[in-house]
Structure 1
Amino acid sequence: MTAPLRVLVVDDEAPAQRVLVRMLQAAPGVEVAGIAGDGMDALDVLAHERIDLMLLDIEMPRMAGIELAARLSPTPAPAVVFVTAWPQYAVRAFELQVADYLLKPVRPERLAQALERARAQLAADTAAQRIGTLEASLLALREGVPDTRGSQVWVEWGTGRLRLALEDIEWFAADGDYVQAHTAERGYLMRDALNRLETSLPVGRFVRVHRSTLVNLAAVVRVGNAANGQLLLTTRSGATLAVGRRAKTRVKDILGA
């Protein structure tokens, strides 16, 4: 029996919450796992509950929907469907790889379509992760990447902190005065600077491929080129990372590509 799709409704207006909950309760194979009033409340729920999909409003107090989705990008897990009265955010939303974008008032048939798109996205992410894990393991063996199991970093999570193993992190990205640590599932915020972090990581495990990006060598499963000749790396979760011009030759040599 297929597990129900666990959905978190994130909206700061109670009437909108009630409408979505009623439609979700009428949808087959769906479970309402929680309700949150804004992005900060949603982070608290995500810290304690397994959520497959967020129905996410955009303009909310404390933390807007776009900001929350960006924290989970580019590998949104849970999947995200924006439900909003504002059409002007659609382009930015799909840049964050959301499953769908619904305009209020939401029609039941349109919500049903969005739920199917979310299921398809989650299934594709799971399959890519399985294949990527095998490919990454083979690459690590071939290149002799040092084994750093047990090494870890602390990241922000809800109202507390979460410990992540370095082997689970695919890349680090500078984010203003902070750093985003990206796993196959989502991105996590760190109170750190990328330059300082780089000096604290095990030698030979993470490589600077761009002034704002450090990549876990064991997470790289594919090397390719964009139309303009820029080197692109694909991680085991399917994320594509650009390599800076100055780092291109060094990165190719390290990966044997």
Structure 2
Amino acid sequence: MEEPMLTATQHLRIDRYLGELDGALGALPETERADVVAGVREHIQAALADRGEVTDADVDEVLRALGDPLTIAAEATGDDGVSGGPAVAAPGSGPRQLPLTSRDRTPGLVVALLGAAPVVLTLFAMLGGFFLLPVALIGGWTLLWLSPLWGVGEKLAGTFLLPSFGLVLFSFTFLVTGGGSEVCVSDSPSDGPESAPVCTSNNDAILTPLAAWIILGVLAIAAVVTAVVLVRHGRRRSAELAQSFSTGA
């Protein structure tokens, strides 16, 4: 059987479903548990193989048709959830809990690490902000790309646009004043009265203040728009995942 072509998000959705099933089958021996999970995986692949180009809706439909992983586990173990059979986790506990990368607060955390942290750490650059900034960015980028809440385009926007304003602000002083200098020369005879020095400036700044402010304004708007999109889309998709988990979809 030819395996269907799936996106990374679709693979994660199926793996989460199978991971929840595997957790619910914890009372079974490892070989039996692996057989049940493998059988369900083959069923999913067979159902998706007939659909041509697989969409996210197709994956959700197939998983919804399979039903709650807890129900499958109960059937496989012969437990009705009431008698003294293998314990099945109640909704909201154990494997039923959404992973960190899919939770409702994940979008806010990503925006805080990639959008707010560079701005805040700029204010504390002399108090360790310079060393904390890479930590915040790496943590935000990791969470962003591991999360199934956004598509590739949204992740690229979050990677480059979300921290852009803070990163440019971090180097704002260099961009405006880098290389600027002032030279003062006093031209007075040795036996005469001292004259006022004549000063000339040599401004080699990369950007003029006006150009720097324009760039900062554009990047600030781009960062805010990106943050709003990531939060709105991320929270909506997190709610959809939570609903599908609670209903067994």
Q: TM (normalized to structure 1)?
A: 0.22
Structure with bigger gyration radius = 2
> Of Structure 1 and Structure 2, which has the larger fraction of its residues in strand?
1
Q: TM (normalized to structure 2)?
A: 0.23
> Of Structure 1 and Structure 2, which has the larger fraction of its residues in helix?
2
